[in-house]
Amino acid sequence: MIKCVVWDIDNTLLDGVYLESAGQPPPADPALTAVLRELSGRGILHALASRNPPEAADYVQAATGAQFAAARCGWDSKAESVRAIAAELDLATDTLAFVDDDMIERAEVAAALPEVLVLTPEDAGQAPQWPDFSPPVLTAEGRRRAGMYAARQRRQAEAAAFGGSREDFLRHAGTRITIGRAGTADIPRLHELSVRTRQLNSGAAALSEDDLAALVSSPAYLVPAVSLRDDYGDDGIVGVAALARNGAGSWPVPVLMMSCRALGRGVLEALLGWLSRTAAAAGATGLTVPCLITDRNVPLRLALAAAGLRAAPGSAAAGERAEFSRSLTGPLPPVPDWLTGWDGTS
């Protein structure tokens, strides 16, 4: 599924060449302007990769009326620009499409990044009809995605200029993490998360709305939904877990996933702290997270390691499932003081 389209400017989004026009730059291409708007409405992000000077990005933004979550203008290769945009947005490159009228630029990106979907402007005109550009579910969070990435740009710029530690910045930004009991109304958003998130996901298969409805209504599970906001913006529900009640034994966590928008904001770490403390308060002696080992979800394994969960060394290779666990009888992983929890008993 495509999460972000990286667009060339000259003879792609503009009907002409930005720098070759004396005075007034060329107008936006009307067909692709409509595609930008349609895809934004589906929660797909846009970015710019161009050899024009940076002010061309401002012009294109004004001419198309679209929001661009990232822009690379300069003399880097297009493949380098696409890679940098993926890193800046914390998206995997196989969720990106690249649109350019220049055959050589397309060939260069296709050779360097074969996982990127490379399109001509004519192809891109058809893109709204293709399944890769048609998310199966679209929620309020999904429709607000472009605005959330704009908030994220402001947050990252301030974080880079901020002198103190990461914790200090999260506090300074007014970070609020709220853990609530997932209800029926949350199911479309939780399904959307399970379809989209791979970097912070312990499982592989998406959970259907029926799977989620069964979990949410089962007395055997606690299903916390995690919401995130700060002074820069409100990201809505960014994560979910399922914690299976297991008496005085180790409590399994068969579902653990978090939007990549929450990366670097201490949310998964906070959720693991909350799960540990909630299970321990109910008498659990341990916490166990089965986790599929993939090259995509390394960030999840980092959070598990940071929270003190360990698997038997060598017990799983790539594509296999490992059981990460920790004791809950000693000191527990911390939860930040900006987390508001649900006590899990009601």
Which spans in the chain are helix H? 30-41, 55-64, 78-89, 103-112, 121-126, 140-143, 145-161, 166-172, 187-196, 209-217, 267-281, 298-306
In the three-class reduction of DSSP (H, G, I as helix; E, B as strand; rest coil), residue 276 is classed as helix
Which is nearer to another protein, 68 or 169 (by Cβ)?
169
- Which DSSP letter does residue 255 get? E
* Minimum CB–partner distance for residue 270 and another protein (Å): 11
* Minimum CB–partner distance for residue 296 and another protein (Å): 10
Report the alpha-carbon distance of residue 81 to residue 67 in Å, rounded: 18
Report the alpha-carbon distance of residue 166 to residue 204 in Å, rounded: 30
* Minimum CB–partner distance for residue 251 and another protein (Å): 20
Which is nearer to another protein, 155 or 191 (by Cβ)?
155
Inter-CA distances, 302 with 11, 202, 210, 297, 344, Å: 43, 12, 30, 9, 26
* Amino acid at site 216: V
* Minimum CB–partner distance for residue 208 and another protein (Å): 27
Which is nearer to another protein, 131 or 330 (by Cβ)?
330
* Minimum CB–partner distance for residue 330 and another protein (Å): 15
Which is nearer to another protein, 63 or 291 (by Cβ)?
291
Which is nearer to another protein, 131 or 331 (by Cβ)?
331
Residue among 283, 282, 284, 287 nearest 271 (CA): 287
| Residues pairing with 71 in the sheet | 48
Report the alpha-carbon distance of residue 211 to residue 68 in Å, rounded: 35
* Minimum CB–partner distance for residue 324 and another protein (Å): 8
Report the alpha-carbon distance of residue 174 to residue 178 in Å, rounded: 13
Which is nearer to another protein, 214 or 306 (by Cβ)?
306
* Minimum CB–partner distance for residue 342 and another protein (Å): 23
Q: How many CB atoms lie within 10 A of CB 52?
A: 21
Report the alpha-carbon distance of residue 286 to residue 289 in Å, rounded: 10
Which is nearer to another protein, 163 or 219 (by Cβ)?
163
Which is nearer to another protein, 38 or 320 (by Cβ)?
320
* Minimum CB–partner distance for residue 167 and another protein (Å): 7
Lateral strand order in the sheet of 45-50: 70-73, 45-50, 4-7, 96-99, 117-119
Which residues bind to another protein, rule: CB under 8 A? Answer: 90, 159-160, 165-167, 199-200, 263-264, 266, 268-269, 293, 295, 298-303, 305-306, 310-311, 313-316, 318, 322
* Minimum CB–partner distance for residue 176 and another protein (Å): 18
Which is nearer to another protein, 67 or 294 (by Cβ)?
294
What are the structure tokens assigned to 93, written together?
A: 């490159």
- Please provide residue 36's backbone torsions phi and psi, each rounded to the nearest 5 degrees: -55, -45
